[in-house]
Structure 1
Amino acid sequence: MTEATGAARRAAAFQRMRDAHSTEMAEDYVELIGDLIVETGEARLTDLAENLGVTHATAAKVVQRLAREGLVESRPYRSIFLTQAGETMATASRERHRIVLQFLLAMGVSERVAEADSEGIEHHVSAETLEMFERLTRERTPG
């Protein structure tokens, strides 16, 4: 393998990682927006910033990006709403989180650690691995 080929492969791997982190942030935001709407009837920038531990300006930038991507609708001084695409993303993210969390709990991981770990794993797990997590959880969980 040449140096150029190795560099190109590494660059492609880093690009995939950057893309994954971008998707991870979008998933966290749309999932939280959906949760806030269910819990409080609305999702506001202030609530997003507080729940995610970011500044109001950071939350506003991300919401603008999500709006450009067609995941949310937002107007100044109004609540933020999920589009159908945003709701689909939030639902899928919640389901992945549930499967990973249940798998970790079935493996004996403490609830506190399983909850924290599932937050990161849910964004980087393949469909194949997720399916295996679900199958193994069913096999290990009585009833």
Structure 2
Amino acid sequence: MIHFSLFGALIGRARQDFSRSIPVDGVRDVFCGGRIGELLTEREELAGQIETLTDENQRITELLESTSRNYQKRGSEIAEYQRLRQYQLQEINRLKAEVAHYKQELEGMATVPERQRYRRLDVLAALATRTRIGAPHSRN
């Protein structure tokens, strides 16, 4: 009795080893009622989908890199405009301080009609500085 169960176990083990050693690529509908063939077909379809997704992923990665470069370029242009605007604001403030200094000197030396004239000039200067600052004059 023990002899037959040992023999059966050896045969079962040999079947498992044999089924594992069969080259899967060359076998289609030979075993398991076509199940291996179905699995192979499914594997090929999945491999095709993986290849398609890999290609799409590569294309998307290239688009992202290109977009990133464009945003970096835009960011540097925006930063340049901000620096230019800041410089212009500093220059305007410096000129306002200079005008205020000269105004004080002139008021000390001027007669009443001259003071009124300088006040009108101050109003005109104030109106002139209210224009938009830092706007580019031409767009390329």
TM-score by length of 2: 0.33
- For CA contacts below 8 A with separation 6 or more, give which structure has more relative contact order: 1
Q: Name the one with the larger helix percent.
A: 2
Q: Name the one with the larger strand percent.
A: 1
